[in-house]
């Protein structure tokens, strides 16, 4: 476990600070960082979780510095944890309880990808994807069960349009499974006042989506995705972050069990 970038302006545990507390996983990546920054601009105190503690620290520092001169200065802390590791997830929940006493917003964004076709998908590759993309959100949702305040809260799971269109087997199955988990948790947590929804982006240009593709392969890949999108462009991290902020905010209190596609209409098309 690695804890980084404490913000000294945060009140001591047990104080009457009512600002929401958000946990965002995979927060050192482009998409997770955009989500964390958007929630911070909305007034949340954000725990940026990433498997690499140094990256989590750097992201939290960048977030705080980037919003220092705004009307909603960030309250951010970086925390190193692997969501596939149950012990580390429990330690994260315990630390959040001790520091804040609550969780109001949980965004399960951490993910790994496998582009292998079925013929090249081994059991180790399959298990590694499922451990992060599906077991991780389950473990974290379970670990924070005691931390929801009496008024409830928000869970937002980041899935993918591939759950509709199909794609590489391990990645696609993990995201389709996360849609199923979203719906199951919506039923179970609803009586607690906790809504559970998913955001399904189409392709977002980030280092994650580039993977190991060459420049030529990536250019062709982005061109195919752009061509299949009625709005004629790719999604941006900010597009996704705005959708997450809506579902995690006060205006989505009667929405649960839903999948919000941030695809520019690409959810209507088959896989490219």
In 3D space, the residue among 172, 263, 175 whose CA is nearest the CA of residue 226 turns out to be 263
CB atoms within 10 A of CB 188: 13
Question: Cα separation of 44 and 46, whole Å?
Answer: 6
CB 260 within 8 A of CB 243: yes
Ranges assigned E (strand) in 71-220: 75-80, 105-108, 153-158, 194-201
Q: Which of 79, 100, 171, 218 is catalytic?
A: 171
Contact 233, 227 (CB under 8 A): no
CA distance 160 to 243: 13
The answer to whether residue 218 is catalytic is no
Question: Annotated catalytic sites, by residue?
Answer: 171
């Amino acid at each position: 476990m690695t804890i980084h970038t404490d913000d000294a302006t945060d009140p001591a545990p047990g104080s009457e600070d009512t600002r929401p507390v958000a946990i965002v996983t995979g927060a050192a990546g482009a998409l997770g960082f955009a989500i964390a920054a958007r929630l911070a601009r909305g007034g949340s105190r954000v725990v940026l979780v990433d498997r690499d503690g140094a990256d989590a620290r750097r992201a939290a520092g960048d977030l705080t510095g980037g919003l220092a001169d705004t009307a909603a200065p960030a309250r951010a802390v970086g925390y190193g944890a692997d969501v596939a590791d149950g012990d580390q997830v429990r330690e994260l929940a315990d630390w959040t309880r001790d520091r804040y006493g609550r969780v109001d917003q949980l965004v399960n964004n951490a993910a790994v990808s496998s582009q292998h076709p079925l013929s090249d998908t081994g059991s180790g590759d399959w298990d590694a994807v499922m451990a992060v993309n599906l077991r991780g959100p389950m473990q974290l949702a379970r670990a924070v069960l005691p931390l929801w305040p009496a008024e409830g809260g928000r869970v937002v799971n980041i899935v993918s349009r591939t759950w509709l269109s199909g794609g590489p087997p391990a990645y696609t199955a993990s995201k389709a499974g996360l849609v199923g988990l979203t719906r199951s948790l919506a039923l179970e947590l609803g009586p607690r006042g906790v809504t559970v929804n998913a955001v399904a982006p189409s392709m977002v240009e980030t280092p994650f989506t580039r993977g190991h593709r060459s420049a030529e392969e990536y250019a062709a890949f982005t061109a195919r995705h752009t061509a299949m999108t009625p709005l004629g462009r790719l999604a941006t991290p900010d597009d996704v972050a705005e959708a997450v902020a809506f579902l995690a905010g006060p205006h989505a209190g009667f929405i649960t069990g839903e999948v919000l596609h941030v695809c520019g209409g690409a959810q209507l098309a088959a896989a490219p």
